[in-house]
Amino acid sequence: MFSWVSKDARRKKEPELFQTVAEGLRQLYAQKLLPLEEHYRFHEFHSPALEDADFDNKPMVLLVGQYSTGKTTFIRHLIEQDFPGMRIGPEPTTDSFIAVMHGPTEGVVPGNALVVDPRRPFRKLNAFGNAFLNRFMCAQLPNPVLDSISIIDTPGILSGEKQRISRGYDFAAVLEWFAERVDRIILLFDAHKLDISDEFSEVIKALKNHEDKIRVVLNKADQIETQQLMRVYGALMWSLGKIINTPEVVRVYIGSFWSHPLLIPDNRKLFEAEEQDLFKDIQSLPRNAALRKLNDLIKRARLAKVHAYIISSLKKEMPNVFGKESKKKELVSNLGEIYQKIEREHQISPGDFPSLRKMQELLQTQDFSKFQALKPKLLDTVDDMLANDIARLMVIVRQEESLMPAQAVKGGAFDGTMNGPFGHGYGEGAGEGIDDVEWVVGKDKPTYDEIFYTLSPVNGKITGANAKKEMVKSKLPNTVLGKIWKLADVDRDGLLDDEEFALANHLIKVKLEGHELPADLPPHLIPPSKRRHE
């Protein structure tokens, strides 16, 4: 009784012990989740134990795609620098997994050295053997982009006859290992090669349960005409819909991700907008990294709980002396019924269970007599972690997020569109005329003045009711027109003079052309007569 009280009191002090999210996750995993995993041999079935480097490493981006879809060129485009071991060509050139990471000097660290380095999050890749480690390396170099993220380049996925040649290691399993640990998975497709080979299909299925991390890039889109591009985009979505079995549509970014001139520049604005969206998504990774690690730990804890119920159920059904082998075969073949029984007894969602086929394959080689019976104390500890400790840790997550800039990744291609006239949308919409000496609204003011003087101005100003009669002709919603009124009424007197009325009409035009309204009126749009009072 007294030990329970002291333990509960100690648990209440835990928030003071966690200085950072990484430290909190590390302690919770080691003290509460790892004992459950070890007791029920979780690591033999699902995923190796997590290490300190898994909690401390920078956000990672995994690039996956068939050969010659532009994966290595995409990395070169992001960091604007060649990296050691880089090879680019139309044939399958990248035959290795290359972790592109920050380092004080340029160099290559081979796979066998990487998996014994405790500072790197790759130690558990040792399980895939020499055939894989000989095809794994780390390219390190000083680069500002790599200060914030690391990028994993993968071998081109093979198609046709090439995919029948064994790689010597389980390619899909390696990608699944990376998928569990990375923050973003980018699937690259070539606009000219949309066929999804058997190996690529297998890879995408291996990424199941990580759909929230997946983004799709339709690369080399500048090489086809607009009409063809629409057809290619539709075909891609149809193909993905057959493989990624989720009701949500996966996000697809269309563009040409390299620094060469566009071959067909018709869709330049679309490509710029898509690239900007993708860059923002990548730039948000450091800010959301702690939340991603927390989310992955929760997913792991839920799977570990289900695994414990499965193993203990199998142990319970096994005879003590005779007929063990025949009973084992029976249990493996009826594993689906055991899943349903656990689901009913413990109110567990079907989505939390591991793949039935994969679990049956793994159980074939296991000695059921070594399985452990159900130990409620271990499960209660994990439940307590999920119910209490994770909620406390969320507070620190929000604190860390608030201290980080929204766009934490700097340098390389990310700087090219940040500021200046080549930033996305510069000089368009509400930004039109930003560098002009003359007031941009002035060129259309004579037209607006004609309307203004038909609205019965008094002392050079019209009322809101009169302005409304004209503004509603735009057919914009009242919420939008209300915002335009607020922006145009610069002197806040509830009336519009001729300049303010012209400004309101200019903002209506901006909105009708499909641009967003600014939150505050930009300095270049302030009417000239009002600038003297600023």
Residues 186 and 129 in one domain: yes
CA quadruple 441, 446, 451, 457: dihedral positive or negative?
A: positive
- Select the more confidently predicted residue: 445 or 93: 445
Cβ neighbours around 219 below 10 Å, total: 24
- CATH number of the domain that residue 242 is part of: 3.40.50.300
Beta-strand ranges (E) seen in 331-386 are: none
371: domain range?
21-51+295-403
Assess whether 349 and 487 both reside in one domain.
no
Q: Last residue of a domain, which of 387, 403, 419?
A: 403
Q: Do 159 and 300 lie in a common domain?
A: no
Question: Measuring CA to CA, which residue among 261, 283, 287 is closest to residue 414?
Answer: 283
User: For residues 88 and 272, is the Cβ–Cβ distance under 8 A?
Assistant: no
193 pLDDT more than 80: no
Dump the DSSP string for 193-249.
Answer: B----HHHHHHHHHTTT-GGGEEEEEE-GGGS-HHHHHHHHHHHHHHHHHHS--SSP
Judge if 42 and 62 occupy the same domain.
Answer: no
Residue 452: name the closest of 507, 500, 512, 511 by CA.
500
Instruction: Please tell me whether residues 100 and 225 are part of one structural domain.
Output: yes
Same domain for 480 and 383: no
The residue among 246, 265, 284 that closes a domain is 265
CATH, residue 352: 1.10.268.20
Among 162-166, 368-372, 417-421, the range scoring the smallest mean pLDDT is 162-166
* Straight-line distance from the first to the last Cα atom of the chain, in angstroms, rounded to the nearest whole number: 71
Whether 464 and 430 have beta carbons less than 8 Å apart is answered as: no
In a domain, 5, yes or no: no
Give the model confidence (pLDDT) of 41-96 as tens digits.
Answer: 999 898 888 888 888 888 999 999 887 788 888 999 899 888 888 877 665 555 78
| Domain-embedded: residue 212 | yes
Mean pLDDT (the chain, rounded): 85
Within a domain: 449: yes
* For residue 154, pLDDT beyond 50: yes
Task: Let me know whether 441 and 485 are in one domain.
Answer: yes
Residue 408, φ and ψ in degrees, nearest 5 = -80, -20
Residues 511 and 388 in one domain: no
Is residue 188 located within the same domain as residue 86?
yes
- Residue 12 located in a structural domain: no
Helix, strand, coil share of the chain (percent; to 5): 55, 10, 35
Q: Is residue 15 part of a domain?
A: no
Same domain, yes or no: 39 and 151 = no
**How many domains is the chain partitioned into structurally?**
3
Could you give the angle at which helices 324-333 and 356-363 cross, rounded to 10 degrees? 170
Among 237, 158, 245, smallest CA distance to 198 is for 158
Q: Is there a domain that residue 505 lies in?
A: yes
Q: Are residues 386 and 360 in the same domain?
A: yes
Burial of 474 (0-12, 13-18, 19+ CB in 10 A): middle
Read off the amino acid at residue 393: L
Distance in angstroms (rounded) separating the CA atoms of residues 276 and 279: 5
Q: Could you tell me the CATH number of the domain that includes residue 471?
A: 1.10.238.10
pLDDT per residue as tens digits for the range 208-245: 778 888 999 999 888 888 899 899 888 888 888 777 76
Span 421-444, average pLDDT: 79
Residue 110 lies in a domain: yes
Q: Which helix (H) or strand (E) holds 299?
A: helix 285-317
Q: Give the residue from 250, 265, 280 where a domain finishes.
A: 265
346 and 454, same domain (yes or no): no
The pLDDT, as a whole number, for residue 210 is 85
Could you give the C-alpha distances from 144 to 147, 167, 289, 365, in angstroms and in order? 5, 34, 18, 48
291 or 244: whose pLDDT is higher? 291
Does residue 411 sit within a domain?
A: no
- 135 SS3 class: coil
